[in-house]
């Protein structure tokens, strides 16, 4: 342990080797050889770590030998004390032997524990690496939910680490007991059989709890899984939860599973209380049975030497059989549950690799041959036949739910192949929902690829990102926040496209990449793609029919089949046979946008810089920043504990409201130690009595009474402590949950989902499962240490002279330990969140990761993050062992001092109390070492408590949810007319250096339909943030129906407005819950709104109808979100490019439904596609956060210099705009 002195001096771990290097070659071989063989991982794990694990058993045997030896030496030392004329050399020999045996015990024990910790940590890391590598091999259809994967990785794999130091004693404990039994036989004969037999019977009875532990654990983790799954949805989709004011039903749903979790946790702790009481009563129980058999059964009187030696031998067995073996049984039950849950993921079917296109001389880069595919055993694609050659630019069109996205996913191997075959060359892919992670712009584009500055510059130019990068303060190093919360929806889409282009392949699979872009930017990017990808194949799923006409060929899908493919004209003709309405819409809107874009890559390149590049800010409604007001790179400053803070723990305990229970438990804890000391003292007094006096019933009745109270007091004490901690934990979680859902949108923009889920998942699990046990143990152990010191001081008062300087040294050592531990705990706490964030990102972006063949890079990143966390964790254990060994040495000094004082003052000692004190002082080494370890664990748990308390009390919150009295008109339902007024309103996001909206002044009429358009950074999404107060507007700046919205509570405001966001949000739960989380509508109303949006037939096909989990395509999901707002019946409706993921024909149905159902409502529509707002009453054109134009679209179209005219020309094409102008009625002078 001397090599770790620099760690304790400076709090830095330079000497701690990389955890990944500690896998050993066999472990890495196991990971590679068994990557796809889930059933073989346990045997391979045993091969890698089993030999090392049993190798350290020699250290445990050495520690046990020293402990047994100390008991034998103690018997001789007590015999020396009882013989008045015994030579002093004999006393010095035995006294020195006691100190030396315990010093060796400390050496063996410390090194065993450190190596056992390392093996446990390395086993956990190996399994986590294996588990993560398997997750990377899965496809979307088989991938577990984010919450489930995170729970398994954060909690279940932890059981391997916890089991490291203890499982070995499941074997060593019984072996040691047999050896001690043989030695005890030498002293008390057949009575030892009765003593150890009683121990065996009790252990057998305790072993029956294994099944109960397993059941309680299974139910506990199942409830926790449900809680984490919902929490994962809420945290990741918090913008949607806030927009709909759905915090309350989600909180209730989470707390329901939390209550189930607590119920199973209480049962689990009741079983632990039984085990804890067994530890404290094992030695006394063995004494009763053994000595009563000796005395009454065999008729032998006691001797002090036999009694003390036997008691110490019983104590030796108690440590292993009374605590470690029962704890091993608990861990074994937990481990079996955790292994089963790990295997559940490992048994998921990995993705079937798609075959290469075979003949390398062939130009075919993608081919489907009579291929059919299924999702979760449900057929989705049927008899697909398609060939794509290098240089082809193929558009895939079809109505909502026709299978367009599934076609691309099947090419990537993300769906199960039922029949036929698919062959694909290297593919590059962009998903329909942009996948970005909490990193810099450059990291998101490169995604682990090597940097090529020239290629990156060209890709940025193609994706129209050059101007965005130029205006961001940190350029490509700008960090975009969790889920890309600091950039707009259009920017996220272009970043994803840039990633696909940078990571070049033979075929590019682009899934609706233009849905989040305005027509101007979409046309520019499309033209650039035709040039940049002229030698590659492109399969483009799109609803942008104006671009379809410029593709080489078109594939028309319906009902999961390709019904026609080829030139657009022939596809339209074929589609007319199946769906005349859709074919008519395609023909109408398939005129080339702008009328001048080159159709073939060989033609002249269009003027891609004719207008500023950009995209709408749509899609960033969830508190995101507009392009031009991107917040600086700021991350939430995670706080970690800087030392033991008693005030934190006291605040935590006060939350339980169980002061009386705690006081009773504390008194019973002291009573347990006092009864233990009194019973031992009474037994030694009984043994010291004259032989004829030992038969006095007074002795055995008193001893029996004292001993029988010990397990009762210990059990009630444990239950009391557990009850108080669990109550506090329950209330702390509730406070944290309520605070998190009330947190400001800025909080979620700077904190990745993995970081928040780390607090609410891993930290909460530590507080629930480890803190109660650690606290109860530490308190009882310190009481036991106090009892030892008091007993020794009463027997040999002079030993206090030796204890005083030892206490000073201990305080000094602990101060060094705290300084070092402060740093390693900080590193461990801060390095854990990135691991979980990486897992969340990997699961959410698995299709992109797989398509771009980034599994090796993602695995290496995971290992690097895990290695960083593991180094900190191993440093923590190293610091703990450093302190333990030194404290043990101090305890050995006390043993030597006590022995010396007893030898020096032998003639004046009370032999009974002195012998008892010497027996107790030998326990000091074992007790102090274990106490230091548990105290360190307790402090580690308090880090989790403090981190949770930060979220429960210190994060920035939104304004109050409920409105003050008198905020609403007393005689009307608000809003009743839907008049929205902006009065010199400005809006600035938290962390931004300038306003997103400036001096906005305008007013709508009742029931008016307003379109909102604008170029990049215009501030369109900021209008949503303003109306829903995702960011606070200037006071008095927004009035709705005469009510200042800043005077209202957020819940009252948001629940009375409606929005259909651009992004699709579907939560864990049923169709019913996703539609109506408050449960205020009957089934008839739910079916009615589903029918109005053409989803009734889709839901009726679900096995459990409304109670089934919703499985919709992106387009169907948008219709489902329309059904949500139909239930709300609000007077003000905001549409945030809600038709971006649906075809034009379905969009017409959607628009007709909106006009029919919301005809008398005020509708604000943020639009990229001008055709969706061309018939609105007025159009609001924003430019750089200010009102540039606000007039009827007919008036704006008459002005060729207007912003709206420019946008319409890019969206509809010049010919279409001119046609619309010709149809306008003449201007009335």
Looking at the DSSP bridge assignments, the partners of residue 1165 are 1011, 1135
SS3 for 196?
helix
Residues whose CB is less than 8 angstroms from the CB of residue 1020 and which lie 6 or more positions away in sequence, other chains included? 616, 617, 618, 626, 1012, 1013, 1014, 1166, 1182
3-state secondary structure 1176-1218: CCEEEEEECCEEEEEECHHHHHCCCCCHHHHHHHHHHCHHHHH
Residues whose CB is less than 8 angstroms from the CB of residue 672 and which lie 6 or more positions away in sequence, other chains included? 280, 710, 713, 714, 717, 780, 783
Predicted local distance difference test score (pLDDT) of residue 190: 87
Predicted local distance difference test score (pLDDT) of residue 605: 32
Burial class of residue 544 (count of CB atoms within 10 Å of its CB; 0-12, 13-18, 19+): buried
- Rg, the chain, Cα only: 37
Q: Which residue do the tokens 């190093």 mark?
A: 477
CATH 3.40.50.300 fits 973-1056+1166-1222, yes or no: yes
Long-range contacts (CB closer than 8 Å, 24 or more residues apart) made by 797-800: 798/901, 798/905, 799/894, 799/897, 799/898, 799/901
C-alpha 691: how far from chain center: 67
Q: 1058 and 1028 in contact (C-beta within 8 Å)?
A: no
| CA gap 780, 758 in Å, rounded | 31
Q: 585 and 579 in contact (C-beta within 8 Å)?
A: no
Looking at the DSSP bridge assignments, the partners of residue 429 are 509
| CA gap 61, 112 in Å, rounded | 10
Q: How far is CA 330 from CA 166, 207, 263, 269, 675, in A?
A: 10, 9, 18, 11, 27
Q: Where are the alpha helices (DSSP H) in 189-303?
A: 191-207, 209-236, 238-243, 247-292
Parallel, antiparallel or unpaired: strands 1038-1040 and 1043-1044: antiparallel
Predicted local distance difference test score (pLDDT) of residue 585: 60
Q: Which helix (H) or strand (E) holds 517?
A: none
Residues of the chain with pLDDT under 70: 1-45, 279-280, 305, 322-323, 351-362, 482-485, 518-519, 578-579, 581-645, 929, 966-972, 1016-1017, 1138-1146, 1211, 1213, 1223-1229
| CA gap 275, 567 in Å, rounded | 76
Looking at the DSSP bridge assignments, the partners of residue 381 are 373
| CA gap 1013, 1208 in Å, rounded | 10
Domain ranges of the chain: 2-349+797-928, 973-1056+1166-1222
Token pair of 374 as six digits: 């299924």
Q: Which residue do the tokens 């207007």 mark?
A: 1202
Cis upstream peptide for 888 (omega within 30°): no
> What is the tally of helices (H) and strands (E) in the chain?
44, 19
Predicted local distance difference test score (pLDDT) of residue 1166: 85
| CA gap 853, 134 in Å, rounded | 14
CA-wise closest residue to 1060 among 1130, 1008, 1004, 992:
1130
Q: 843 and 135 in contact (C-beta within 8 Å)?
A: yes
The 10s digit of each residue's pLDDT in 986-998 is 888 877 777 888 8
- What is the pTM (predicted TM-score) of this model? 0.71
Predicted local distance difference test score (pLDDT) of residue 644: 53
| CA gap 475, 479 in Å, rounded | 9
The class level of CATH for 2-349+797-928 reads mainly alpha
| CA gap 846, 131 in Å, rounded | 15
Q: Which helix (H) or strand (E) holds 82?
A: helix 57-82
Q: How far is CA 52 from CA 200, 219, 414, 870, in A?
A: 29, 34, 40, 19
Q: How far is CA 465 from CA 457, 628, 668, 1132, in A?
A: 9, 13, 69, 34
Q: 167 and 402 in contact (C-beta within 8 Å)?
A: no
Q: How far is CA 1082 from CA 241, 252, 1087, in A?
A: 22, 20, 9
Q: Where are the beta strands (DSSP E) in 1016-1143?
A: 1038-1040, 1043-1044, 1058-1060, 1132-1136
């Amino acid at each position: 342990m001397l090599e770790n002195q620099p760690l304790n001096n400076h709090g830095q771990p330079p000497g701690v080797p990389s955890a990944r290097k500690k896998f050993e070659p066999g472990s890495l071989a196991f990971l590679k050889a068994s990557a796809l063989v889930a059933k073989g991982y346990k045997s391979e794990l045993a091969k890698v770590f089993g030999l090392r694990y049993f190798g350290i058993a020699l250290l445990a045997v050495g520690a046990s030998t020293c402990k047994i030896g100390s008991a034998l030496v103690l018997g001789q030392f007590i015999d020396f004390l009882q013989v008045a004329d015994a030579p002093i050399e004999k006393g010095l020999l035995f006294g020195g032997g006691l100190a030396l045996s315990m010093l060796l015990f400390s050496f063996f024990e410390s090194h065993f524990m450190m190596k056992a910790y390392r093996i446990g940590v390395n086993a956990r890391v190996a399994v986590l690496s294996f588990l993560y590598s398997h997750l990377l091999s899965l496809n979307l259809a088989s991938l577990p939910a984010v919450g489930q994967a995170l729970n398994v990785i954060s909690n279940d794999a932890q059981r391997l680490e916890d089991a490291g130091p203890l499982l070995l004693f499941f074997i060593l404990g019984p072996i040691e007991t047999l050896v001690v039994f043989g030695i005890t036989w030498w002293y008390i004969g057949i009575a030892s059989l009765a003593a150890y037999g009683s121990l065996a019977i009790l252990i057998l009875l305790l072993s029956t709890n294994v099944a109960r532990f397993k059941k309680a654990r299974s139910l506990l983790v199942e409830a926790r899984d449900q809680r984490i799954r919902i929490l994962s949805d809420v945290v990741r989709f918090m913008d949607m939860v806030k927009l709909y004011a759905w915090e309350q039903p989600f909180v209730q749903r989470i707390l329901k599973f939390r209550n189930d979790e607590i119920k199973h946790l209480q049962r689990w702790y009741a079983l632990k209380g039984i085990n804890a009481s067994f530890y404290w009563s094992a030695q006394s129980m063995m004494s009763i049975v053994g000595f009563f058999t000796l005395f009454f059964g065999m008729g032998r009187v006691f001797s002090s030497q036999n009694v003390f030696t036997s008691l110490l031998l019983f104590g030796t067995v108690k440590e292993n059989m009374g605590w470690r073996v029962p704890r091993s049984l608990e861990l074994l039950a937990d481990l079996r549950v955790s292994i089963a849950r790990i295997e559940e993921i490992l048994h998921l079917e990995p993705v079937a690799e798609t075959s290469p296109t075979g003949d390398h001389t062939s130009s075919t880069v993608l081919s489907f041959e009579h291929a059919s595919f299924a999702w979760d055993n449900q057929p989705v694609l049927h008899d697909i036949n398609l060939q794509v050659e290098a240089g082809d630019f193929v558009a895939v069109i079809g109505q909502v739910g026709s299978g367009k996205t599934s076609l691309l996913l099947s090419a990537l191997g993300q769906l199960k192949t039922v029949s036929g075959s698919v062959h694909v060359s290297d593919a590059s892919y962009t998903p329909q929902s942009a996948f970005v992670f909490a990193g810099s712009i450059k990291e998101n584009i490169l995604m682990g690829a090597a940097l090529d500055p020239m290629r990156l510059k060209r890709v940025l130019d193609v994706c129209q990102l050059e101007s965005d990068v130029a205006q961001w303060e940190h350029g490509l190093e700008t960090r975009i926040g969790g889920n890309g919360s600091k950039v707009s929806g259009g920017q996220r889409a272009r970043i994803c496209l840039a990633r696909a282009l940078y990571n070049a392949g033979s075929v590019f699979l682009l899934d609706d990449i233009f849905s989040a872009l305005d027509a101007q930017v979409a046309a520019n990017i499309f033209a650039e793609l035709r040039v940049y990808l002229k030698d590659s194949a492109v399969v483009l799923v799109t609803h942008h029919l104006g671009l379809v006409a410029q593709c080489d060929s078109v594939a028309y899908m319906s009902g999961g089949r390709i019904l026609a493919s080829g030139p657009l004209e022939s596809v339209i003709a074929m589609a007319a046979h199946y769906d005349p309405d859709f074919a008519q819409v395609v023909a109408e809107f398939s005129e080339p946008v702008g009328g001048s874009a080159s159709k073939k890559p060989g033609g002249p390149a269009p003027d891609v810089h004719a207008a500023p590049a950009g995209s709408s800010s749509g899609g960033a409604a969830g508190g995101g920043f507009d392009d031009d007001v991107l917040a600086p790179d700021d991350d939430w400053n995670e706080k970690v504990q800087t030392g033991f803070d008693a005030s934190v723990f006291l605040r935590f305990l006060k939350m339980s409201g169980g002061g009386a229970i705690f006081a009773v438990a504390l008194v019973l804890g002291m009573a347990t130690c006092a009864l233990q000391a009194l019973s031992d003292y009474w037994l030694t007094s009984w043994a010291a009595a004259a032989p004829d006096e030992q038969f006095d019933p007074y002795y055995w009745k008193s001893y029996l009474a004292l001993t029988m109270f010990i397990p009762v007091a210990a059990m009630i004490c444990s239950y009391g402590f557990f009850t108080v901690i669990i109550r506090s934990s329950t209330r702390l979680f509730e406070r944290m949950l309520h605070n998190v859902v009330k947190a400001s949108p800025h909080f979620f923009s700077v904190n990745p989902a993995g970081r928040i889920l780390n607090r609410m998942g891993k930290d909460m699990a530590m507080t629930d499962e480890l803190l109660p046990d650690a606290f109860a143990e530490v308190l009882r152990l310190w009481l036991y240490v106090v009892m030892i010191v008091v007993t020794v001081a009463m027997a040999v008062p002079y030993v206090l002279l030796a204890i005083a300087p030892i206490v000073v040294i201990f305080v000094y050592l602990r101060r060094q330990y705290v300084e070092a531990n402060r740093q390693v705990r900080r590193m461990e706490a801060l390095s854990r969140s990135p691991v979980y964030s990486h897992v969340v990102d990997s699961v959410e972006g698995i299709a992109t990761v797989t398509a771009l063949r980034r599994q090796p890079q993602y695995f290496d990143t995971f290992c690097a993050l895990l290695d960083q966390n593991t180094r900190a964790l191993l440093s923590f254990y190293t610091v703990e062992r450093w302190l333990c060994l030194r404290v043990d040495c101090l305890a050995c000094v006390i043993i030597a001092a006590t022995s010396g004082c007893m030898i020096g003052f032998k003639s004046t000692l009370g032999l009974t109390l002195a012998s008892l004190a010497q027996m107790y002082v030998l326990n000091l080494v074992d007790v102090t070492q274990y106490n230091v370890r548990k105290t360190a664990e307790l402090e580690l748990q308090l880090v989790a408590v403090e981190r949770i308390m930060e979220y429960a009390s210190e994060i920035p919150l939104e304004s109050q949810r409920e409105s003050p009295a008198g905020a609403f008109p007393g005689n009307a339902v608000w809003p009743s007319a839907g008049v929205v007024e902006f009065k010199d309103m400005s809006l600035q996001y938290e962390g931004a250096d300038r306003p997103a909206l400036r001096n906005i002044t305008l007013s709508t009429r009742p029931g008016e339909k307003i379109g909102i358009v604008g170029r990049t950074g215009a501030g369109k999404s900021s209008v949503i943030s303003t109306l829903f107060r995702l960011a606070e507007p200037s006071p008095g700046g927004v009035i709705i129906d005469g009510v200042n919205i800043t005077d209202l509570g957020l819940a009252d405001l948001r629940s009375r407005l409606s929005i259909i966001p651009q992004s699709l949000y579907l939560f864990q739960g049923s169709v019913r819950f996703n539609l109506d989380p408050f449960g205020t509508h009957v089934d008839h109303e739910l079916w009615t709104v589903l029918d109005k949006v053409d989803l009734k037939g889709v839901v009726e096909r679900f096995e459990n109808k409304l109670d089934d989990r919703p499985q919709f395509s992106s387009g169907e999901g948008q219709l489902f979100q329309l059904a949500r707002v139909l239930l709300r019946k609000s007077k003000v409706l905001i549409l945030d490019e809600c038709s971006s993921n649906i075809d034009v024909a379905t969009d017409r149905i959607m628009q007709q439904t909106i006009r029919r159902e919301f005809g008398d409502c005020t509708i604000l529509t943020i639009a990229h596609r001008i055709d969706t707002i061309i018939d609105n009453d007025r159009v609001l054109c924003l430019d750089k956060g200010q009102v540039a134009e606000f007039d009827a679209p007919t008036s704006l179209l008459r002005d060729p210099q207007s912003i709206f005219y420019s946008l319409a020309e890019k969206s509809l094409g010049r010919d279409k705009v001119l046609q619309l102008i010709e149809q306008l009625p003449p201007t009335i002078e």
